[in-house]
Structure 1
Amino acid sequence: MNALPRNRKLSARGIAMLAAMISGVALAGCTTTPTGELTTIEVAQGSDENISSLTAVIERNPSDPEAYNVRGSAYGRGGKYQEALRDFDKALQLRPNFYQAYANRALIHRFLGDQASALADYNRSIQLNPSYDAAYIGRGNLYRKAGRVQEAFSDFQRAIQLDTTDPRAYHNRGLIYQSQGQHAFAIEDFSTAISLAPDAAEPYNGRGLSYIATNDEENAFADFNMAIKLDGKIAESWANQALIYERRGDKQRAAKSYARAAQLDPNYKPAVEGLARTRAG
């Protein structure tokens, strides 16, 4: 990655708090289930009812690789990973150059913890179609989780160069910029992600943290409040809101927001530590 100018930094106290917050948002960029990442099916189609309908389609067309790919995606969304793998295997048996099925199977391998197989499938998908943005984004997420930041950045960059409309490419590139203190670039990427997915809370959290890093507290607070409005069950959003209250000296409201974050995720360290700090004060 080319060296880029850094923005203003936080105070020593703020740096430690921001680092913990950024860690939480980075995790939010990779969900613990395939929702939002499988490439060929809508969320609602992961229901048992729709899987039954897709099974009926396969029974009528047992040699159709598209049908297996779609049902595999539905199984993945429903958390039925082994069933998903079997369907993607079948789709690829029927159509060996099915690059979408390779990318979908890679995601299932990733969630099952088989990172080597996931990487091999993403590589094969890209080999078959070097212009397939979803494979670059998936592989970039794999690299980012493995700490291979430069390779992750390159993959997100490539997806963006391909004119992707997938907000994850911008969101995750923004996280990388943010982790390196390049907050102007991060804010721009998070803003693009928001324009592509205005109902997603995570880019608001990410952008808000970079606003804090540039001492733009008002915009940070607005972003954290919007994240809560969009999804009130994300601990990071409440902890981020609490951070603003704490910076403003309003420990009572800060403690209340930290408490909500800790209730949602008792293991979320910034919330637990923030609650202890503000209650003690």
Structure 2
Amino acid sequence: MASDISKKIRLAIWLLLCILLAGFWLVKHYYAKQYDESRQLAALVEDGVWNALSDSDRIIEETTAALEKNPRDAEAYFRRGVAFSDNDDTDEALSDFNSALKAEPGFAEAWYYRGVVRSCMGEWEQAEADYRKSEELSPGMARAHYHRERIWFPESRFNYHQTPYDRILKIDPGRARECYLLGVRSFENKQYRPALRYFREAVEKNTLDAEACNFLGWILATCPDKALRNPRQALELAEKAVALRPFAYTYDTLATAHAATGDFEKAARIQKEGIALLKETSMNSATKARYLAEYTAHLSAYQSRKCFWEK
């Protein structure tokens, strides 16, 4: 009798375990499917590709004509790829971005946009690799880093002010990267006070974070809210950023910090060094021309003993 009861108990326990395991598998499968679908849907509203263009069909027609004359025109492939993206034609967009990169491997913007298209196609690892390559070619392209990080957090795309990084920090307050990304978000929204707070926290948690040092130095030197400026601190942070990451954009920030302290001669000298570095940097020619014009304008201001950010 006791043996029969024992068998029934074991059978009941076994059945209960089977039910629990089956339930766990079903729940996991359901949420994995929902999460993957939400990531693909989120990618469709990725800024920079799915924003409405003035006339995508006209752009496709013009760039196609340009490519008939010059089949290696990377810029034309790129523009047509963005237009195809706007028309939700991800296959054609991907093909054009591939062609742009074949013609000009240093085209940082094309790497970035191909990453966006791959996100739309659910190719998450390839998209992350493209974002990373874009960062390597153009270290000042914060959005490439930002989108690479947030590729796994689709809800942040639906509400620019609502970010999952807040939740992560509540769980693990020691994470520096999330502080940095919140700083970027605040800076892009021109919310300078919270941006300063987040970047300071990022630097405190990771003293080797060159990007956070650079952003913090820039805000402390040029913030539209003059009450938040601190040129001396800006200079210290910019010097650290250059030491950690000696690229043209960190030199630009360092020159800006020197100008903020009133040392225009040193600002001009450092700006020239930054411009020289930029000229040696491999990136898309149009992007390089844009940065070169910006940095040259800064240099002209310093040579005239002026701060370019002061109106």
TM-score, normalised to structure 1, is 0.46
Structure with greater Cα Rg: 2
Higher relative contact order (CA 8 A, sep 6+): 1
TM-score, normalised to structure 2, is 0.42
